[in-house]
Structure 1
């Protein structure tokens, strides 16, 4: 196999007659050359800066000649570009078009509504999907588990901002100009005798919202319904904007609301996965 790279006049042969490792394989196991090329694209997508050929080849477990051949084809498709001065590679304009097409064609509600079925069964807890509506957190889907839970949570219902785990998620991640009017309306209603068990206000509410931002998750115990506790976490889109809140709800003895407990970990993993499918990756990543 030739490994001439710079100024090569002859096409580089990727495969030899006996190269069973790299030969195209079509069938149940897929097309192996596409999977190999995908490794290079993933490396470029994950990289924080353009990469040298030798580094790409090493990390993709290819020879430089093999990696160069893939990258040459990707350049023709505009999936990859090469900087003329440094020779480093980075993703090209067609990769951006693919990403945008994926984002524009992805419905956050559809993704979440299909996935919460498995989450509810995994945890044996009720799962609610909530959006921000005209009057605050509005339930759009409730997924029961195999263990029925007696909680008055129904599609079309509302969660309070000041007294529920779900509400705290919206208070933590939405612009204050959206949330503040709802908070004030809830507090005024409470002063008039409207039951809002566990509602927070003033400095206590501010501290709780800051805590939710730090932890990335919110919890309530025996609130607003005695004997029922909940955990809630956010789903973000590619721009980092809050799209949905996912809430797991269950009898207090059956749900672990510890922020490092197994239920919190499962919920975090779930919302991170859906957020990643929407194109969101935390800055720390």
Structure 2
């Protein structure tokens, strides 16, 4: 046994030393490229294959095929992951699934996500692109609440500011939450707002919500503050629920403000923010799987305004 150990030591010492970091010349600059550990990159393919399994668990043959490697190679990686708690193997079925260590890693990453910061970064980029004032709203105790405000090239004089609560029915941010938020979260506030006699008829509100779900954005012109128009788009979490609304403000008299160019720029910004916090386009909006999505017909009729 001692001889075997000496030979193995000798073989290791005979192996070439780590090659220097590769260098790549680009545009007159020399960029140093990090040398990675290929086995780690290969192992990540195993974990990715497990994450993509429809039931969250799979046999060896399916994992190996999805990871594009032989079963024997995939088995060696899986054994290492089982030993470290990254993967579990069910004793009866032999199926593999992600283990407790994988859960800890995922939760640790999620805990570091800052929805407001990610959305605010994209909002700033959007303001730079379209030149208009931008605001970021989240769902608060009293409805859509402005938490970020970024002046455009021409600052706007308005009563809106950080901390303002926007109406559900007459603001573009409110329409986004009505269209995509879980119904139990919006119903009480919506009923309270309608009880005052403000807002749309059930027919008009239903039409507005369906249009917003179809288009993926909402616009208003002069509905909240005379002379102001707005474009709002949702930021989704990994489950497909809206966690923030990115919006831009412009003059209702400016016909170019509600252009498709500005709308597309806002949609792109919201998609980047959503992706940064874990949402995927394949997830879509969770409201479409919600049994109570068509909740407007159950609302009490809006009372007639008091004369």
TM-score normalized by the length of structure 1: 0.70
How far did 1:228 drift? Answer: 4.1
Q: Is the 8 A contact 1:130 1:138 kept in 2?
A: yes
Relative distance call for 1:148 and 1:68 in structure 2 (3 A) is farther
Query: Match of 1:193?
Result: none
Residues 12-38 of structure 1, C-alpha deviation per residue, up to 9 Å, x if partnerless? xxxxx79x9xxxxxx725433222222
Structure 1 unaligned regions, length at least 5: 1-16, 21-26, 191-198
Cα separation, 2, equivalents of 1:82 and 1:177: 44
The answer (yes or no) to whether the contact 1:246–1:271 under 8 Å persists in 2 is no
1:203 aligns with 2:203: yes
> Greater relative contact order: 1 or 2 (C-alpha under 8 angstroms, separation 6 or more)?
2
Counterpart among 34, 37, 41 of residue 40 in structure 2: 34
Q: 1:53 corresponds to which residue? A: 60
Q: Name the counterpart of 1:150.
A: 156
Paired residues of 1:74 and 1:80 also in contact (CA < 8 A) = yes
Q: 2:275 aligns to what?
A: 273
- Structure 2: distance between partners of 1:235 and 1:39: 29
Distance 1:135 1:58, change over 3 A: closer
Q: Indicate if the aligned counterparts of 1:220 and 1:229 stay in contact, CA closer than 8 A.
A: yes
Report whether the alignment pairs 1:183 with 2:204.
Answer: no
Distance in 2, matches of 1:256 and 1:30, equals 48
Question: C-alpha separation between the residues in 1 aligned to 2:232 and 2:244?
Answer: 10
Query: Which structure 2 residues correspond to residues 1-285 of structure 1 after superposition, within 5 A?
Result: 28-49=34-55, 50-145=57-152, 147-150=153-156, 152=158, 153-172=160-179, 173-174=181-182, 175-184=185-194, 187-188=196-197, 199-221=199-221, 223-225=223-225, 228-238=228-238, 241-251=241-251, 252-256=254-258, 258=260, 262-263=264-265, 265-276=267-278, 281-282=283-284
- CA–CA distance in 1 between the matches of 2:137 and 2:91? 49
Cα RMSD (Å): 3.6
For 1:56 and 1:265, locate their aligned partners in 2 and report how far apart those are by CA, in whole Å.
Answer: 36
Aligned length in residues: 250
- CA change 1:215–1:86 in 2 (3 A) is farther
How far is 1:67 from its partner?
2.1
**Retained in 2: the 8 A contact 1:235–1:274?**
no
* Larger-gyration structure (1/2): 2
